[in-house]
Chains A and B, each alone.
Chain A
């Protein structure tokens, strides 16, 4: 079984927010609800030089997802392929998951009174497609899904 993996290289990100809008197109989340968020980091001084970067935040699909443990409705579960899926049908809107998510990756949909998070486009992945944000929308090509070359590169970087 492939364990799915999404990897975003913040250093390459230009802050164009296309991934945010690609996610909107796919998931149609209401105004104010974002399943992927691009935010500014800086300006600040790093090593004596001015720095300014963007950070992309989304569900990390944790190995031991605290949100799943916290959810009284058992609406959140980690699949065997690694994707942590929130079932909106089961969500009662108690916000317990939002409290415990260490990455601040769960948003609340006021219209429907339910929590929302990135389900890694499992409806696409299950049909052999890749998540909307990773599907070659990013001009920096910095969002990678199940990309073995990218994984190798990263492992080498960590090793060295």
Chain B
């Protein structure tokens, strides 16, 4: 265990007369960097990176630095409110925490009594590390329905890796990978899990080879030894093309394949269906590049695949994840130094245990919404959003009567936003916990003021797969804001769950740490704790799968009635799958290009971050722009069969002219009416949420590629 130490701090304190500095752990995105929070007169004056943190080594991103502007934002909700009058009427009355929690508790108990616990859906977005507490509350309440981003973000990596190799394989940057394949990920400007951009960048500076798979020319693509500019949505076919080379040129690890792989022969048969020529035809990537990339990746060791959410928000979600795991495994890169590690956390009550999944009655788990349809997801407690909207609107297979949404803004971030809005207008009772009155919160009955990461104690990253735990230490308090964990701990006492919760949530932190024989007060004094790092554990114990092997051929998927091997499906809307639609909607639209400073729908009201991007921007190739009569900087309309959104055109030659690239989750906090411009630039008005547009096993909505038209907006 590392010592708690300061570095370069004393001079900083002297120069500015700060009263104190608190080491903490940022949570402005999906993973956390170590931070130093400088305080004067009780106010956060400066945020810097913690040089001793193994995740970021003192560097930060713009979001972390701007956190104080979030905490002290004048528009922040700082006390609970209850809606007065119609939904989206914008009229609220201040209530006390007791009034709020009593009203919510009463509603929960009545609804459970009348319609069953399953009629109450809990939900969170790309959470504030509140997921374990939310699952705990839901499971103890008896509802199997927790609506998260997990169907199409990170959840698939966890679910597919558990059934394929036991846990999520993470690139071992600390041992210098010699080759990195960046697949649908741009971790230097986005919000990556586990490690951040810093160690990746350092590996490249030390000379690692780089392969980038991306439809857009990013800086990483420009720096790459090989850039594969694929047709959006064809990742599985590209991976098969590369595997064809790796297998037929015998570049794989024969010893590993002979001893540790389940399903090699059928996999090779499937691989042989995808010659590099065929893969080239499907993916638009030249055959030679596919071959070169396959050779470079398979022969440069150790190698890591840095993957991201782009390949998960697709119909091929689970199979994309699984085929990449197959590639890591057969090239001998799984669980080796500098390769792709199956790290283990320290001995703790982990996120699954804390989530109290075992406390949910079997009969309740059996009626999880969409459970019979998306069986991989259901086995991991994950549901598809459309199942919830349908249950609200059509009351099928049963009625959902209450939503309890914590840090999520689904009107901006889930597919077919108009349908989402319709469901939120219809739901009988909705509670939201958030920092601001977002467009989603404006439809709630009660809104609770949530605390930022600066305002809470927590065991940071305890559910992540790099094996580290990092203390998040409370630095400030803002008015009546409360962390979601404290809020649920309190509410739990009001709905009869007190036996399973604590006097204060610090008891929950002690519970996480208890197996190590330490308390939160002990942990607070440390920099971090890491689980033991051991390599090639499979040699002694096998992989933690039913066969004990790397299950390229998944026995569990087979049992659940799915293709046990990764399968390529053509995107549901594309020039090839829907040629007639393509006549009217002649561009492939990709959505969700990441922007430094924003985290999905968050941060548009933070001055330093909004200054980085004033307006939503759609990138279009100048050739296509000319064809459509679009000038650089114009407002343009993007349209799909579901609806329209407007963004500003930016010319970008680093993309195939047949592709346009829009930004996601835009709303306008500066518009003070209760709509906040939610339907003006919202790309999810265009995306499709039909079940046919979802991964059949994971239920992930294919929001990343669709067909659109694009034309100048009328002045």
Q: Which residues of A contact B (CB under 8 A)?
A: 12-18, 20-22, 24-25, 31-32, 42-44, 50-54, 123-124, 127-129, 135-141
Contacts and interface: CB of A to CB of B under 8 A. Distances in A.
Contacts of A31: 607, 611
A140 B201 contact: yes
A141 B51 contact: no
Contact of A25 (B47, B61, B227): B47
The CB with the most chain B CB atoms within 10 A, among A43, A54, A135, is that of A43
A25 B48 CA distance: 10
B222 A138 contact: no
B612 interface: yes
Given A31-B607, A127-B14, A54 B219 contact: yes
Given A136-B51, A137-B49, A50 B222 contact: yes
Contact of A22 (B65, B202, B221): B65
Contacts of B198: 139, 141
B218 A12 contact: no
B46 interface: yes
A67 B367 CA distance: 73
Contacts of A24: 608, 611
B219 A53 contact: yes
B11 A25 contact: no
B422 interface: no
Interface string B197-239: 1100110010000000000011111100001000000000000
A38 B189 CA distance: 13
Contact of B217 (A21, A50, A127): A50
A123 B227 CA distance: 44
A141 B205 contact: yes
B258 interface: no
B596 interface: yes
Given A124-B15, A136-B51, A16 B61 contact: yes
Given A139-B188, A139-B196, A141-B201, A15 B65 contact: no
Q: Among A18, A54, A128, which residue has the most Cβ atoms of chain B within 10 A?
A: A18
Contacts of B205: 12, 140-141
A128 B12 CA distance: 9
B652 interface: yes
Contact of B219 (A15, A124, A128, A135): A15
A15 B613 CA distance: 13
Contacts of B62: 16-18, 20-21
A52 B654 CA distance: 8
Nearest to A54: B219
Nearest to A14: B188
A50 B196 CA distance: 26
Contacts, number: 112
Among A13, A14, A44, A138: residue with most chain B CB under 10 A:
A14
B558 interface: no
Contacts of A128: 11
A32 B219 contact: no
A17 B596 contact: yes
B66 interface: yes
B654 A50 contact: yes
B652 A127 contact: no
A133 to B, nearest CB: 11
B60 interface: yes
Contacts of A50: 217, 221-222, 227, 654
Contacts of A15: 188-189, 219, 596
Contacts of A18: 59-62, 65, 596
Nearest to B613: A17
Given A15-B188, A136-B57, 4 more contacts: A14-B219, A21-B608, A31-B611, A137-B48
Contacts of B57: 136
Interface in B37-85: 46-49, 51, 56-62, 65-66
Contacts of A13: 219
Contacts of B49: 136-137
Contacts of B608: 21, 24-25
A139 B222 contact: no
Contacts of A141: 59, 198, 201-202, 205
Contacts of A44: 653
B46 A16 contact: no
Contacts of B59: 18, 136-139, 141
Contacts of B217: 42-43, 50, 52
A54 B220 CA distance: 11
6 tightest A-B CB contacts, nearest first = A14-B188, A43-B654, A21-B62, A52-B222, A136-B58, A127-B15
Which residue among A12, A13, A17, A54 has the maximum number of chain B CB atoms within 10 Å of its CB? A17
B609 interface: yes
A137 B60 CA distance: 6
Contact of B46 (A12, A25, A52): A25
Nearest to A127: B15
Contacts of A12: 201, 205
A21 to B, nearest CB: 4
Contacts of B197: 14, 16, 139
B597 interface: yes
Contacts of B196: 139
Contacts of A16: 61-62, 188-189, 197, 596
A14 B597 CA distance: 14
A129 B12 contact: yes
A130 to B, nearest CB: 9
A4 to B, nearest CB: 16
Contacts of B654: 42-43, 50, 52
Interface string B172-206: 00000000000000001100000011100110010
Contact of A135 (B47, B48, B201): B48
